[in-house]
Amino acid sequence: MQRRKFLKLGAVGSAALFTGLTHPARAFDYSDLKIKKIRYYAAPGYTKPLFNQARGIVEVETDSGLIGVGEGGTPDMVRQCAEMLIGEDPFRIEHLWQYLYRGMFYPPGREKLHGLGAIEMALWDLKGKALEVPVYDLLGGKTRNYVECYATGFRNSKATTQEGRAQDCLAAGLRCYRIGPTGGNGDEPFDFYEHARKTVEFCERIDKAVGGMGNWAIDLHTRFDTPEAIKICSELEKMEPYFVEDIIRSENPEVYRTIRNMTKVPIAVGEQFGDRWDTNVLMENHLIDYSRVTLPNTGGITELKKILAIGETHYVGILPHFTGPLSTAALIHVLGSSSPTRCMIELAGGEPEKPAYFNEDFIDFREGKVHLNPNPGLGVKFDPGKADLLFEVTENTPFPHPYLLSPDGAIHNW
């Protein structure tokens, strides 16, 4: 396969120990490409104002005209990251991630991580397209032929009950049907005792409908306090769900030391988390069975690979939360090239969403499973004419972001 000639050897020079916005001497370049523009589009028809569900579309364009596409982040966070990257080499993905992560005084919060993750996703797409290989090849190559899926809801079902929709979901080839607790729609007071009892009864009906065997799972959605949460989990143990998610609130991960000692259900936590430091304690201490971290929320593909490595070390699987269609496509590349830990991808409604601004075949979904896309990059083609451009960044911020470089060129905190 002929590939475009983007790689070059950089001349070795002495690196300054301090720099502002521009990196010193360009001594560590690996490609002839430079980031020229970064654009942010609003996803048409998607108005959900939650930063953790942000589905803006990010384009990173180089001076050669090559473009990579990512998804996620709010406009303010993406803009802040974009203004640090003009003129940089897009192939240096880990280096740029460290620059964006460490380039401010405060470590980035979860809001900024989503913006960073959207841009980092676009960099991987760009690099794959430049080298004419799929992203999963850049991540080590295939370890799976497909990734199993679980559904939250099942829109293709004509059934009028959750039990019927769960049965239709499994019949379509998906591995698992995910439900939520009863109540909590905001129209009436949420009584903990009542809804704990109703949630257990609901689970009993679903378990019976799908024949047990881990064919269903439940998200408690952090709604219950400890007494009711443990009561529910105790009742669910004999039903053997695939996982019980977000048993209690996520602000204090250490609370799962208590939860783990009080229940034997498989525990899944992480859709509200970001980078590896959010989940490290939970995995290292065997307090969870599955991580629910996802893209772009972790800060990007590279960071998710690191989280997967921590999980493999401690025998923790991964069940990424759904955030958006392009993020789902990126997850397939990551999980399809990861270690053989147990994993599934969530599909809201039971099938991939395929918006009109992406090519129809960017996700290969067959018989309830998602298959790896062999096309270059993430396998996505974006039509900007079908989205709303919110801004374009072509210049770096006028306010330098100081950081330190060690003699070998690695970034360190200022």
Does 71 share its domain with 154? Answer: no
Does 241 share its domain with 336? Answer: yes
Over the stretch 152-201, which tens digit does the pLDDT of each residue have?
A: 999 999 999 999 999 999 999 999 999 999 876 666 788 999 999 999 99
Residue 8 domain-assigned (yes or no) = no
Mean pLDDT for 287-309 is: 97
Q: Which domain holds residue 393?
A: 18-132+383-412
Specify whether the backbone of 301 is left (phi greater than 0), alpha (psi in -120 to 50) or beta: alpha
Does 119 share its domain with 142? Answer: no
Does 184 share its domain with 70? Answer: no
Model's pTM, two decimal places?
0.91
Over the stretch 370-398, which tens digit does the pLDDT of each residue have?
A: 999 999 999 999 999 999 999 999 999 88
Indicate the range of 119-128, 145-154, 340-349, 395-404 predicted with least confidence.
Answer: 395-404
Q: What is the CATH number of the domain that holds 177?
A: 3.20.20.120
Q: What is the CATH number of the domain that holds 24?
A: 3.30.390.10
| Residue 52: predicted pLDDT | 57
**Dist. CA 97–CA 275, nearest whole Å:** 12
Does 363 share its domain with 408? Answer: no
Does 62 share its domain with 191? Answer: no
Pick from 287, 333, 284: which is nearest to 312 by CA? 284
Strands (E), 256-301: 267-269, 290-291
Position 334 pLDDT exceeds 60:
yes
Does 34 share its domain with 126? Answer: yes
Q: How many domains does the chain have?
A: 2
Strands (E), 182-340: 216-219, 244-245, 267-269, 290-291, 317-318
Half-sphere exposure of 221 (CA within 13 A, CB side): 12
| Residue 199: predicted pLDDT | 97
Query: Which residues partner with 389 through β-bridges?
Result: 41
Mean pLDDT for 140-153 is: 96
Does 65 share its domain with 195? Answer: no
Does 126 share its domain with 147? Answer: no
List C-alpha distances in Å: 228 to 71, 242, 247, 249, 276.
37, 20, 10, 13, 30
- The tokens describing 377, both together, are 């990059």
- The tokens describing 50, both together, are 């939650």
Over the stretch 101-114, which tens digit does the pLDDT of each residue have?
A: 988 778 889 999 99
Position 72 pLDDT exceeds 50:
yes
Does 99 share its domain with 189? Answer: no
Does 110 share its domain with 189? Answer: no
Does 152 share its domain with 289? Answer: yes
